[in-house]
Chain A
Amino acid sequence: MSFSTALAHHFLPETILALGVLALILIGAWRGTRAFGLVNELAAGLLGLAILALFFGQTSEASLFEGAFVDDAFARFVKVLTLVGSLVTVLMSRDYLQRAKLGNFEFPVLVVLSTIGMLLLVSADNLIALYLGIELMSLALYVAAAFDRDDARASEAGLKYFVLGALSSGMLLYGASLLYGFSGTISFDGIAKAITGAPPLGVIFGLVFVLAGLAFKMSAAPFHMWTPDVYEGAPTPVTAFFASAPKMAAVAITTRIVFTAFPGIVGQWQQIVIFLAIASMLLGSFAAIGQTSIKRLMAYSSIGHMGFALVGLAAGNEAGVRGVAIYLAIYLVMTLGAFAAILQMRVEGRPVEKISDLSGLSRNNGTAAFFLAMLMFSLAGVPPLAGFFAKYYVLLAAVDAGLYPLAIIGVLASAISAFYYLRVVKVIYFDEPAPAFDQSPLSLRAVLAVSTVFLLGFWLYPAPVVEAATAAAKSLF
């Protein structure tokens, strides 16, 4: 297969997005402030096209660009999730941004640019590709966080995210330079081949720094400090984006790097991942209890969920990776659904974000209340909703790998976190009604309904997700 056909088959989604985003910028620059609606629709179209390209594209494995880019089942699985996260964000953001007078065409452009970064990251097969993917993804996210530049909280969120993000990039680069210094190569395979026997201190140091940098991107404790403030300060559609697509890419590249670059020293990175998982799960459960803002609650919830995803990674085998892949898929649906509900919280034209604003929702809007309650049950991991199966697969993998303490802590953390999810349900169903929410746009109601149906129906027909995740996990080993 020649290079250009390989490119056309395995690099198609990235090509579509990269060329498309340039066209979007031109359209935006040409039409000025009126371009938002059009550019938003076209961006959604591009992301949709990229998803189709993945679905109907190649099923073979390929390595492109001298081993910088790998296209395998794992990459394709996570790419679909990432693209779905970005697509739904673009669809959900339109109404909010226009009402907040933030309807600038740059927002969908930034989302698409960030998504290109995520796709490169998911497929990265050496250290430079990893770094460039992370930077492309993050730079667009920093700007998106501060998109509401006249709002002090949003500016603070953007600045905080930027400064801490730059710090984490520095740590990642330092770790990468140590790994390169040890092995003399940037490719993950080469690093794996260079590590034979007991690893010297320099390799372990590099590994720790790289994992710390990646843990920051997925906001796993103890690298989570920025998360609640940024999630609360950023405009809500941006928060929805932060909680969905970038997490997929960050968890995926962490999974890829530990299994392709460090397969010989599982014991070394397993300790780190176990620590990150336990810290994230416990922090996600305890710190969320006292929150009054639903956006902060979701921030801590996402930290906790990343902890559970890492439980699967800690298992260190194929079943664990399958658990991570399934977890990511179900987490994505739950998060997008929850943010579709949060974006609907609008009283007399103004967005509200307190948990108490949801009070008595069941009497004002029974359907939305039911959907949101189901989402909360699923986030808490109540069977037979999909959230339960997500946790089931990762905990099962941990138990099979003999990590009993980790699995037990996971179950306990899940039980504790159920408290605050169920409190939201209690507020919705049993408290005195607060002022009713405005009629919300069709896109938000559709996302909420579709995600809830997915979560309710998962146990009836889990095969598509589970089979795809199994194939994805297989391709890494």
Chain B
Amino acid sequence: MAVAFFYLFSAVLIASAFAVIVSRNPVHSVLYLILAFVNGAGLFLLAGAEFLAMILVVVYVGAVAVLFLFVVMMLDVDFAELRQGFSKHLPVGAAVGAVVLGELGLVALGWQSAPGAKEAAAAPIVAGVSNTAALGQVLYTKYFLFFQASALVLLTAMIGAIVLTLHHRPGVKRQKIEEQNARTRDNVIEIKKVPSRAGV
């Protein structure tokens, strides 16, 4: 049963990944990307990594892909123009890609791990501790440095986004509730005496 699901998820994942790059409409590409993420999450579930699977769905499908969708729809990018010169670069790109693919095939066919690699890589799962709890136990202890360094990376990304996009424009009119509440009839209405027959 699990094997059948593995092939199902894998096949859909590869097909949707392919569809991401060949779709003409960028919105379709993003939707296929979401499909690819969901299938990736399925593969994680099969491998027994339920926490990663949920994170993938929550973060990548829930946040990142939706954000992509917004960006793609909001930005007026002329994709036909971006594709110009595609055919010109295609032969070189295809040749390089074919060579790399061939080499990767050789690597995959002749793959061998060091003796004991599998045992070393298999994370020791303490009996009675769930996957998520096991992650929590190492994340703040053994991998403390990585956790803090990732936090700094995210901080940098945040500062970068603000630096590159925040514009302080003078003269922007904003609603200020306290000023509105503080208005009284006396300080906003001015009574003018207009002489008759003089026009305004």
Chain A positions within 8 Å of B, measured between CB atoms, are 18, 25, 33, 64-66, 68-69, 104, 106, 109-110, 113-114, 116-117, 120, 128-129, 132-133, 135-136, 139-140, 142-143, 146-147, 149, 158, 178, 180-185, 190, 194-196, 200-202, 205
Please name all residues of chain A whose beta carbon is closer than 8 Å to the beta carbon of B142 when the two chains form the complex.
Answer: 65-66
Please name all residues of chain A whose beta carbon is closer than 8 Å to the beta carbon of B168 when the two chains form the complex.
Answer: 33
Q: Which chain B residue shows the least CB distance to A126?
A: B146
Please name all residues of chain A whose beta carbon is closer than 8 Å to the beta carbon of B117 when the two chains form the complex.
Answer: 181-185, 194
Give me the 5 closest cross-chain CB pairs, A-B, nearest first. Answer: A184-B117, A184-B120, A143-B160, A184-B121, A194-B114
- Complex CA–CA separation, A106 to B114 (angstroms): 47
- Quote the shortest CB–CB distance from A385 to chain B (angstroms): 38
Instruction: Determine whether the beta carbon of A132 is less than 8 Å from that of B153.
Output: yes
Please name all residues of chain B whose beta carbon is closer than 8 Å to the beta carbon of A64 when the two chains form the complex.
Answer: 145
- Quote the shortest CB–CB distance from B165 to chain A (angstroms): 8
Please name all residues of chain A whose beta carbon is closer than 8 Å to the beta carbon of B94 when the two chains form the complex.
Answer: none
- Complex CA–CA separation, A68 to B141 (angstroms): 12
- Complex CA–CA separation, A233 to B103 (angstroms): 37
Instruction: Determine whether the beta carbon of A139 is less than 8 Å from that of B160.
Output: yes
Selected contact of B156 from candidates A136, A146, A185, A194, CB within 8 Å: A136
With A180-B121, A182-B113 already in contact, the answer to whether A140 and B156 are too (CB < 8 A) is yes
Q: Which chain A residue shows the least CB distance to B109?
A: A201
With A120-B149, A184-B114, A184-B118 already in contact, the answer to whether A146 and B164 are too (CB < 8 A) is yes
- Complex CA–CA separation, A132 to B150 (angstroms): 7
- Complex CA–CA separation, A199 to B113 (angstroms): 10
Instruction: Confirm or deny: B84 has a beta carbon within 8 angstroms of a beta carbon on chain A.
Output: no
Instruction: Confirm or deny: B155 has a beta carbon within 8 angstroms of a beta carbon on chain A.
Output: yes
Instruction: Determine whether the beta carbon of B156 is less than 8 Å from that of A139.
Output: yes
- Quote the shortest CB–CB distance from A250 to chain B (angstroms): 17
Please name all residues of chain B whose beta carbon is closer than 8 Å to the beta carbon of A201 when the two chains form the complex.
Answer: 106-107, 110
In the complex, besides A110-B156, A110-B160, 4 extra interface pairs with C-beta distance below 8 angstroms are A146-B164, A181-B111, A182-B114, A201-B110
Q: List 5 A-B contacts (CB under 8 A).
A: A18-B152, A128-B143, A139-B153, A182-B112, A184-B120
With A181-B113, A182-B114, A184-B118 already in contact, the answer to whether A205 and B152 are too (CB < 8 A) is no
Instruction: Determine whether the beta carbon of A113 is less than 8 Å from that of B146.
Output: no
- Quote the shortest CB–CB distance from B96 to chain A (angstroms): 13
Instruction: Determine whether the beta carbon of B159 is less than 8 Å from that of A25.
Output: yes
- Quote the shortest CB–CB distance from A167 to chain B (angstroms): 13
- Complex CA–CA separation, A120 to B162 (angstroms): 25
Most interface-central of B104, B117, B152 (chain A CB within 10 A)? B152
Instruction: Confirm or deny: B23 has a beta carbon within 8 angstroms of a beta carbon on chain A.
Output: no
Instruction: Determine whether the beta carbon of B157 is less than 8 Å from that of A139.
Output: yes
Chain B positions within 8 Å of A, measured between CB atoms, are 103-104, 106-107, 110-114, 116-121, 142-146, 148-150, 152-153, 155-157, 159-160, 162-164, 168
Q: Which chain A residue shows the least CB distance to B112?
A: A200
Please name all residues of chain A whose beta carbon is closer than 8 Å to the beta carbon of B103 when the two chains form the complex.
Answer: 205
Please name all residues of chain A whose beta carbon is closer than 8 Å to the beta carbon of B148 when the two chains form the complex.
Answer: 18
- Complex CA–CA separation, A149 to B149 (angstroms): 27
Please name all residues of chain A whose beta carbon is closer than 8 Å to the beta carbon of B159 when the two chains form the complex.
Answer: 25, 106, 109-110, 113, 143
- Complex CA–CA separation, A214 to B155 (angstroms): 24
Selected contact of B155 from candidates A69, A113, A158, CB within 8 Å: A113
Instruction: Determine whether the beta carbon of B163 is less than 8 Å from that of A143.
Output: yes
Instruction: Determine whether the beta carbon of A104 is less than 8 Å from that of B163.
Output: yes
Q: Which chain A residue shows the least CB distance to B111?
A: A202
Selected contact of B152 from candidates A33, A116, A149, CB within 8 Å: A116
Instruction: Determine whether the beta carbon of A106 is less than 8 Å from that of B163.
Output: yes
Instruction: Determine whether the beta carbon of A143 is less than 8 Å from that of B164.
Output: yes
Q: Which chain B residue shows the least CB distance to A139?
A: B156
- Complex CA–CA separation, A117 to B146 (angstroms): 12
Selected contact of B121 from candidates A66, A113, A146, A185, CB within 8 Å: A185
- Quote the shortest CB–CB distance from B48 to chain A (angstroms): 18
Most interface-central of B111, B117, B163 (chain A CB within 10 A)? B163
Selected contact of A143 from candidates B113, B116, B156, CB within 8 Å: B156
Please name all residues of chain B whose beta carbon is closer than 8 Å to the beta carbon of A104 when the two chains form the complex.
Answer: 163
- Complex CA–CA separation, A146 to B160 (angstroms): 10
With A69-B145, A182-B117, A190-B120 already in contact, the answer to whether A202 and B152 are too (CB < 8 A) is no
- Complex CA–CA separation, A190 to B120 (angstroms): 10
Selected contact of A132 from candidates B116, B118, B149, B164, CB within 8 Å: B149
- Complex CA–CA separation, A65 to B145 (angstroms): 7
- Complex CA–CA separation, A74 to B167 (angstroms): 44
With A106-B162, A113-B159, A201-B107 already in contact, the answer to whether A136 and B152 are too (CB < 8 A) is yes
Please name all residues of chain A whose beta carbon is closer than 8 Å to the beta carbon of B162 when the two chains form the complex.
Answer: 106
Please name all residues of chain B whose beta carbon is closer than 8 Å to the beta carbon of A66 when the two chains form the complex.
Answer: 142-143
- Quote the shortest CB–CB distance from A228 to chain B (angstroms): 21
Please name all residues of chain A whose beta carbon is closer than 8 Å to the beta carbon of B118 when the two chains form the complex.
Answer: 184
- Complex CA–CA separation, A183 to B114 (angstroms): 5
Instruction: Determine whether the beta carbon of B153 is less than 8 Å from that of A184.
Output: no
Instruction: Determine whether the beta carbon of B146 is less than 8 Å from that of A68.
Output: yes
Please name all residues of chain B whose beta carbon is closer than 8 Å to the beta carbon of A135 when the two chains form the complex.
Answer: 153
Most interface-central of B103, B104, B116, B146 (chain A CB within 10 A)? B146
- Complex CA–CA separation, A135 to B153 (angstroms): 7
Q: Which chain B residue shows the least CB distance to A128?
A: B146
Q: Which chain B residue shows the least CB distance to A106?
A: B163
- Complex CA–CA separation, A136 to B104 (angstroms): 29
- Quote the shortest CB–CB distance from B194 to chain A (angstroms): 46
Q: Which chain A residue shows the least CB distance to B104?
A: A205
Most interface-central of B106, B143, B145, B150 (chain A CB within 10 A)? B145
- Complex CA–CA separation, A104 to B160 (angstroms): 12
Instruction: Determine whether the beta carbon of A140 is less than 8 Å from that of B160.
Output: yes
Please name all residues of chain A whose beta carbon is closer than 8 Å to the beta carbon of B111 when the two chains form the complex.
Answer: 181, 200, 202
Please name all residues of chain B whose beta carbon is closer than 8 Å to the beta carbon of A65 when the two chains form the complex.
Answer: 142, 144-145
